[in-house]
Amino acid sequence: MSNKDILIRLFHKLDVSGDGVLSRDELSEGLRRAGVSPTVLQKLIDRLDLNADGIVTLSEYKTAIGVNNNE
C-alpha cells in the first residue's frame, strides 16, 4: 500500500460521521488523539480547508496531500 493510499484511508477513518467530509471537530479530535499539538493542529486545518468553510472535503484533502483527484 502506498503512502497516498494510507493517507486516503486516514481521511475515511477520521470521518467518523461517514458524511464524506471532515468537520473541524472530526479532524481536531482525530489528530489530537494522535498527539498532534494544538499549534500544529491549527496549521494543518488551515492548510487542508482550502476554502475556509470549516469542513475538509476529500477533494481538498487530496489537493493538500498532492494526490490527483482522479486517483
Cβ-proximal residues to 2 (8 Å cutoff; 6+ apart), any chain = none
pLDDT computed for residue 71 by the predictor: 64
Q: What does the pLDDT read at residue 18?
A: 97
The structure's pTM equals 0.84
**pLDDT tens-place values along the chain, 71 residues long:** 888 899 999 999 999 999 999 999 999 999 999 999 989 999 998 999 999 999 999 999 999 888 887 76
User: DSSP class of residue 20?
Assistant: S
Domains of the chain: 3-65 (1.10.238.10)
pLDDT for res 67: 85
SS3 56: strand
